[in-house]
Amino acid sequence: MSVIELRRASRWYGNVVAVNDMSCEVGPGITGVLGPNGAGKTTVLHMIAGLLSPSSGEVIVNGQKALGTPETYRTLALVPEREAVHGFLTGFEFVRMSARLQGLADATGAARRAIALVDLESAQHRKVATYSKGMRQRVKIAGALVHSPRVLILDEPFNGMDPRQRLHMMEVLRQAASEGCTVMISSHILEELNDLADSVLVMVAGRLAASGHFREIRKLMTDRPHTFTVRSSDDRLLAASIMRDASVFGVELGDAGVVVRTSDRGAFTRNLPRTARDAGISLREILPTDESLESVFTYLVNR
Amino acid sequence: MELPINRTVAWLTWRQMFAQRRIWVAAGIALLPAVVTVLFRAVADPSAEQTGFFAVLQREIVLGTLLPLAALVFGTTAFAGEAEDGTLVYLLVKPVHRWRVVTSKYAVAALTTVLVIAPAVLVPWLLLDDAALTFGIARSLLAGVAVGAVLYTAMFVLVGLLSKRAFTLGLLYVIGFENVLSRSGAVGAKSLSIREFATSIAQSTGDAAVVLGAPAVPLDTIRNAGAVILVVTLGIAIWKLARYQLAERV
């Protein structure tokens, strides 16, 4: 059952295409939106939350377009990426304001419960201006959860949280998902969603590069070729010796050392010290050269 | 039928009005005429005409300067800060029609302007305690303040939604149009000047004309032009917020 549906949705700003012809369906549970900075994650989330209209295509939430339909927000909530919260309000006032804007009968009670859920009771009567980044993130999440939404959109919600808070917040989101909530959460940090998301949408340069179960996509990522730059006492001899390693399928001699491409990162890093020792070469430096998230995502797009 | 004012949006806007340094700006605007009055009484010749001083103080400082300044501060505060720092999003993703967000914020900004300017009229009036300055004169001035606040604030709420440099643009309007062009005798300028409207309203009621001078703009013109200004500015503000989208790229 899909709650959120993107039908060939695109969004461009002038000549810049932020989201390009994206189609997907998202149902209850936790769905991660992964991608490097600038991939279009925030634009997609803002289109779903009704803060941006698609330049072409459609974005449907619970069977209707959120943009221009205030009633949609009775069941939808957004935690924006920007940490700005009204600094002159206390945390409690901010969450109660959200409850009142939702028209809840017992706004004060709902605010208390939401504050407790994010473990912010001790600081609830302090001005938000005095909060740390992590506390602001938590009060934003409390404000979004106060009316128990059926669709929860979170844009990089773990920014600024310490590991303990992060684990606690993950538990809160799991609980919401187990109660049937559709949680969509974006991150540019792969590991952040590893244990949390049931499925992921991987975005690169505005396109949906991959979607599905996290483990399957993760496997695609780990199966991709790895590149290392190795510096040694005799780079030319090392290059010749490395070529005998079955896991290596490319070697290039350059000014910075030997650039090695391998399909099996584990086998290569195990074999390299032995290869060097057998050839009488001293290894000085081994650098993985394309481990950035961006290169991982780019591989997914180009594969 | 929904009420035009959402109480929670109004409450938030009220808190915004006096957040940060604005409380001191408000206090300064409210009390400046009282300070000037105290100084006048301390240094002026006892035979000096108090009514003449009061008329100039109210016409030039309160209606001509402090009223548009207060409306500018509170009118632009309604949206400009929130749009810039990103907190406006918390109102946009709630089941509240955007037109109600505009009308609620506008109403609070206009009311705040009146409340801040009211002491600027009443405290000097009380301090001077002159028999010639009847309560009718103070009441006429408050009516002028109310009309000026309603129109100025609508304009500045709109400017706050349209531009990131709302305060600067508003200040240029207050100085350039309201205090230079409309006083220059340029054709039609008086008939569009909110300062002239506010002053003329004050001069048109009760016995205020004797002290404050004859009104420059007829009431009919004020009613018609004022209604057009109000409807057009609020209409554009509602239209603008209804179509407002986050400008943030990717």
Can you spell out the DSSP letters for A1-66? --SEEEEEEEEEETTEEEEEEEEEEE-SEEEEEE--TTSSHHHHHHHHTTSS--SEEEEEETTB-S
CA of B84 vs chain A CAs: smallest distance (Å): 10
Q: What is the dihedral of CA A8, A12, A18, A21, to 10 degrees?
A: 10
Query: Least CB-CB distance to A97: which of B8, B92, B249?
Result: B8
Q: Which chain B residue's Cα is nearest to A82?
A: B86
- DSSP reduced 3-state for A204: strand
Q: Judged by CB atoms within 8 Å, which residues 140-199 of A form the interface with B?
A: 143
Instruction: Report pTM.
Output: 0.84
Average of per-residue pLDDT across B132-143: 91
Question: A with B: how many residue pairs have Cβ under 8 Å apart?
Answer: 82
Residue B180's domain spans which residues?
A: 7-242
CA angle B113, B179, B203 (to 5 degrees): 65
Instruction: Give ranges for CATH 3.40.50.300 in chain A.
Output: 4-217
Render pLDDT for B84-94 as a digit per residue (tens, 0 to 9). Answer: 888 999 999 99
Render pLDDT for B154-213 as a digit per residue (tens, 0 to 9). Answer: 999 999 999 889 999 999 999 998 888 888 877 777 788 999 999 999 998 767 777 788
Q: Which chain A residue's Cα is nearest to B90?
A: A98
Helical segments of A118-197, H only: 133-145, 163-178, 190-194
Average of per-residue pLDDT across A265-274: 86
Q: Tell me, what's the pLDDT at B250?
A: 35
Is residue B248 in a domain? no
Q: Tell me, what's the pLDDT at B13?
A: 95
Hey, which CATH number is domain A4-217, 3.40.50.2300, 3.30.2320.50, 3.90.1150.10, 3.40.50.300? Answer: 3.40.50.300
Counted domains in chain B:
1
Q: Tell me, what's the pLDDT at B112?
A: 96
| Inter-chain touch A101–B248, beta carbons under 8 Å | no
Q: Which two tokens stand for residue A160?
A: 């600024």
CA of A76 vs chain B CAs: smallest distance (Å): 8
| Inter-chain touch B12–A97, beta carbons under 8 Å | yes
Q: With cut-offs at 50, 70 and 90, classify the pLDDT of residue A31.
A: very high
Q: Which of A294-298, B39-43, B62-66 has the lowest mean pLDDT?
A: A294-298
Q: Tell me, what's the pLDDT at A299?
A: 66
CATH architecture of A223-302: 2-Layer Sandwich (3.30)
Q: Tell me, what's the pLDDT at B46?
A: 67
Average model confidence (pLDDT) for chain A? 88
Share of chain A above pLDDT 90, in %: 58
Q: Name the residue among B101, B111, B106 with its Cα closest to residue B26.
A: B111
Bridge partners (DSSP) listed for residue A154: A79, A185
CA of B89 vs chain A CAs: smallest distance (Å): 8
Judged by a CB distance cut-off of 8 A, whether residue A116 touches chain B is no
Is residue B137 in a domain? yes
Render pLDDT for A144-172 as a digit per residue (tens, 0 to 9). Answer: 999 999 999 999 998 888 888 999 999 99
Is residue B247 in a domain? no
Render pLDDT for A165-191 as a digit per residue (tens, 0 to 9). Answer: 999 999 999 999 999 999 999 987 777
Is residue B250 in a domain? no
Q: Name the residue among B188, B155, B158 with its Cα closest to residue B174.
A: B155
| pLDDT at A14 > cutoff 60 | yes
In whole angstroms, give the CA distance from residue A214 to residue A295: 18
